[in-house]
Amino acid sequence: MIEQINLQNVPQHVAIIMDGNGRWAKQQGLDRLFGHSQGVESVRDTLKTARELGIKYLTLYAFSTENWNRPKSEIDGLMDLLIEAVTHELMELNNNGVRLLTIGDLNALPENCQKSLSDAIQKTSNNKDITLVLALNYSSQSEITSAIKNIIADNNSGKITIDEINPELIDTYLYTKDIPDPELLIRTSGERRVSNFLLWQIAYAEFHFTSVFWPDFRRQHLLEAIIDFQQRERRFGMTSDQINKA
Active site (catalytic) residues: 19, 67
Dihedrals phi, psi of 227, to nearest 5 degrees: -60, -45
In the complex, least distance from residue 114 CB atom to ligand IPE, rounded to whole angstroms: 18
Nearest to 27 by CA among 216, 193, 217: 216
Describe the strand order of the beta sheet including 13-17 as a list of residue ranges: 98-103, 130-138, 57-64, 13-17, 184-187, 206-209
Of these partners, ligand IPE, Mg ion, none, which one is at the site of residue 195 (CB under 5 to 8 Å by kind)? ligand IPE
Contact 112, 167 (CB under 8 A): no
Residues 9-68 touching Mg ion, rule: CB under 5 A, are 19
Q: How far is the CB of 84 from ligand IPE (least distance, A)?
A: 15
Q: How far apart are CA 173 and CA 100, in angstroms?
A: 20
Q: Which of residues 41-70 bind ligand IPE (CB under 6 A)?
A: 61-64, 67
The piece of 144-152, 163-171, 189-197, 222-230 that touches ligand IPE (CB under 6 A) is 189-197
Nearest Cα to Cα of residue 24 among 35, 38, 39: 35
On whether the CB atoms of residues 176 and 145 are closer than 8 A, the answer is: no
Query: Rule CB under 6 A: is residue 219 a binding residue for ligand IPE?
Result: no
| Of residues 136 and 151, the one with the C-beta less far from ligand IPE | 136
For the CB of residue 19, give the shortest distance to Mg ion in the complex, in Å: 4
Binding site for ligand IPE (CB under 6 A): 17-23, 61-64, 67, 78, 189, 191, 193, 195, 214
